Amino acid sequence: MTIHDEEYPDLLKEVYDPPLLLFCKGRTELLHTPMKLAIIGARKCTPYTGKVLTRLIPSLSQHCVTVISGLARGADTIAHETTIRSGGKTIGVIAGGFDHIYPKENAALASHMMDHHLMISEYPPDTRPEKWQFPLRNRIISGLSHAVLVTEAQRKSGTYSTADYALNEGRDVFCIPGPLFAPMSEGTNSLIQEGARMVISAEDILQELSQS
């Protein structure tokens, strides 16, 4: 779809440099669900991310929250898989084309999402993912969403940058607090200091999303 098509999501038009073209596989109606939450976090996340998302996502799915993430290792994969197991809806935004799913171990997950959920890319199917495309992909993840949840992040990381970008775009940013001296919690704790909302239950997120 192009940016001029009626089904192009209005939220995405609001971001800086919105993609002019979106390649979609799956249920495009998910782009227009009333509550969409991006879940992002570290690729090398600790077990804490899994425990938190296993606690939060079933309730979010029960309340019809669509989960958006980037199909990367770590937090992204946990977010997609936990949403699917919970009977929820999920959207994956990838940095390359559909013929080059990265990481390769998520090919089966991507295939399932193309059949039952939604996969999105701004690149033609034969495009191989390059390192510089991943930060650009992140603007789509946050741009499609009403809010962003950060599970774990170091201070200098792509996750931290995406959350900071979302704050600047006027999106609600939620963060899971963590131990003061844990490297993977430095970013989330810092974002909370900067104005992100601390989350300790799904209700914290649902209350804000229901007003979006």
What was the pLDDT predicted at 48? 96
Q: How many CA atoms lie within 13 A of 144 on its CB side?
A: 33
Determine the pLDDT at residue 24: 98
Residue 160, pLDDT score? 80
- Quick one: how far is CA 90 from the chain centroid? 9
Q: Closest by alpha carbon to 110, among 122, 124, 131, 95? A: 95
| Token pair belonging to 56 | 């939060």
Boundaries of every domain in the chain = 10-149
Residue spans of the chain under pLDDT 50: none
Bridge partners of 175? 150, 198
**For domain 10-149, which architecture applies?**
3-Layer(aba) Sandwich (3.40)
* 51-107 pLDDT per residue, tens: 999 999 999 999 999 999 999 999 999 999 999 999 999 999 999 999 999 999 999
At residue 148, the 3 state secondary structure works out as: strand
Is there a contact between 94 and 69 (Cβ–Cβ < 8 Å)? no
